[in-house]
Copies of this chain bind each other. A is one copy, B any other.
Amino acid sequence: MSETLERRAGRPAKNVLNRELILATAITVLNRTGPEDFTMAALAKELGVKTPALYHHVGGKNDILAGMRQFVTAGIDYEVFKSLPWDEATIAWARSYRAAFAAHPYAISLLATVPVTGAHPTLVMYEEVSQGFRAAGWPEGKIVSAIVALENFILGSALDAVAPPDMMDPGDFAGEVPGYTQALRAGESTEPRMSRADQAFELGLAALVAGLAGLK
């Protein structure tokens, strides 16, 4: 779906007004306006059409937010919970989840704070993941907290994945923070073939999964 959207987004809007183009354009507009100031009128203007024309294809702002979530999360693999042990499934799911949001970093803050109510594909994902946790022996009362804790780590890691490689560099202050600078340089040479962000994600994911397994 992503590929289709990106290809169509390059064509003249008038020829192809449809749900996919509207959603792809909505992401651009939302990124500029934020969810509170986003209007159907602003979206119509961006597409070069009149506002009522949009309603032939989408149901309004809430429908657009749900559709945008579907667009961003389409690459997340939750089927792994049907075939792999809990810890392996969680790690595979988390990696695909981080990659999906790292490809759409402007959507992270937005989708982290807009309710999933009405977002059918996301709810189907939660159903599969919940069932995977339950089958692994998780108590009912901790399943959603554990999933949200993982999502919090994943979304923070997706932001970090799109940060510049020198994100953590002390620059001219290196001499004033020698303990930190030493640790930073040691980390760079420990796993030279992994990016700084990938190292942190993989260490944190392994720790979080191991720690959750001990607390369930």
The chain A residues found within 8 Å of chain B, CB to CB, are 31-32, 34, 105-106, 108-109, 112-118, 120, 123-124, 126-127, 129-131, 133-134, 139-146, 148-157, 159-160, 162-164, 166-173, 176-180, 182-184, 186-187, 189-191, 196-197, 199-201, 203-212, 214-215
Contact = CB atoms under 8 A, between A and B. Distances in A.
Contacts of A182: 130, 140
A215 to B, nearest CB: 5
Contacts of A34: 31-32
Contacts of A145: 187, 196, 199-200, 203-204
19 contacts: A32-B34, A108-B109, A108-B159, A115-B163, A123-B173, A127-B177, A134-B179, A141-B190, A145-B196, A145-B200, A149-B205, A152-B156, A152-B159, A155-B159, A204-B212, A207-B208, A208-B208, A208-B211, A211-B214
